[in-house]
């Protein structure tokens, strides 16, 4: 695995890559209090099955993040970096806010996308979503990391996962810096005004939408709306999983791989 840094105009971004295949597979993660670079080894292990057929790229948000910073701009910055390092016609998996970014890239830069899987995401932020993200922002601004962590655990994971791993999960925000929190707030605030529902008909690549009935962050109705608008395949997991079903369901990654190989 390699962690790399790239600068394109005023965009400074880190990413890591692994795998020996020739085809590009891009992973766009959701919002987090820490850089995705801190999870590089865990992600490489989790997505090892893709390494033989793909060169896997996982992109962070830009380092010099402006405020405000829209989801559309996040996607444009990522697209610029993809072009800079020679990625095109990629298979893309976007999770949560990463799914929002993936849709924007498919709309604005279709040459970069071959196939796309959208996990636990939405094409617009309704009142319930806005209330949830604003609650996260308020907790982050207050500096109450204990309360924010408890909120994350409850919203992101299933009861089974919490029961098994709560002793680990309660430490997810240990060593988070003031700058990390600032970046988290900027990213989370971007969800508030997000709405590309009327632009989804511009997406022409094959798409698989994966939602989960137990999602407390972006309820599965959002996944249904995207799939209906695109006329694409939809798979819904049940209430036994949470928003981070992509980390919980044992068959999730195989489902992505099977779709890419169709």
Q: Can you give the pLDDT at residue 1? A: 80
> Could you read off the pLDDT of 105-121 as tens digits, one per residue?
999 999 999 999 999 99
| Residue 208 domain-assigned (yes or no) | yes
Mean pLDDT of 85-105: 98
- Cα–Cα dist 254/50, whole Å: 9
| Residue 184 domain-assigned (yes or no) | no
Q: 64 to each of 7, 13, 139, 200, 249, how far by Cα in Å? A: 10, 8, 23, 29, 34
pLDDT above 90: residue 160: yes
How many domains does the chain contain in total? 1
| Residue 129 domain-assigned (yes or no) | no
> Could you read off the pLDDT of 69-80 as tens digits, one per residue?
999 999 999 999
Residues spanned by the domain of 241:
2-124+196-260
| Residue 111 domain-assigned (yes or no) | yes
Neighbours of 187 (CB within 10 A): 20
- Cα–Cα dist 196/104, whole Å: 8
pLDDT above 90: residue 2: no
| Residue 41 domain-assigned (yes or no) | yes
Residue 52 in 3-state DSSP? coil
| Residue 107 domain-assigned (yes or no) | yes
| Residue 43 domain-assigned (yes or no) | yes
| Residue 35 domain-assigned (yes or no) | yes
Global confidence as pTM: 0.97
Reported as type and span, the H/E element at residue 184 is helix 178-192
Q: What is the CATH number of the domain that holds 29?
A: 3.40.50.1820
Q: Can you give the pLDDT at residue 127? A: 94
């Amino acid at each position: 695995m390699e962690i790399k840094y790239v600068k394109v105009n005023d965009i400074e971004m880190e990413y890591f890559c692994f795998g020996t295949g020739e085809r590009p597979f891009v992973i766009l993660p959701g919002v987090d209090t820490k850089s995705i670079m801190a999870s590089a080894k865990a992600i490489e292990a989790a997505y090892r099955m893709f390494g033989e057929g793909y060169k896997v790229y996982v992109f962070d948000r830009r380092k010099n993040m402006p405020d405000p910073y829209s989801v559309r701009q996040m996607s444009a910055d990522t697209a610029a970096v993809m072009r800079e390092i020679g990625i095109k016609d990629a298979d893309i998996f976007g999770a949560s806010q990463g799914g929002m970014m993936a849709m924007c890239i498919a709309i604005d830069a279709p040459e970069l996308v071959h196939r796309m899987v959208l996990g636990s995401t939405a094409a617009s932020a309704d009142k319930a979503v806005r209330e949830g993200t604003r609650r996260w922002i308020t907790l982050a601004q207050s500096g109450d990391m204990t309360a924010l962590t408890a909120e994350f655990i409850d919203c992101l994971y299933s009861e089974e996962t919490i029961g098994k791993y709560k002793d680990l999960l309660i430490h997810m925000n240990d060593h988070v810096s003031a700058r990390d929190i600032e970046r988290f707030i900027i990213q989370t605030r971007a969800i508030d005004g997000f709405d590309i529902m009327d632009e989804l008909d511009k997406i022409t690549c094959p798409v698989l939408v994966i939602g989960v009935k137990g999602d407390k962050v972006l309820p599965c109705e959002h996944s249904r709306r995207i799939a209906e608008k695109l006329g694409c395949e939809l798979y819904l997991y049940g209430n036994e999983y949470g928003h981070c079903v992509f980390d919980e369901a044992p068959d999730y990654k195989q489902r992505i791989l099977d779709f890419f190989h169709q």
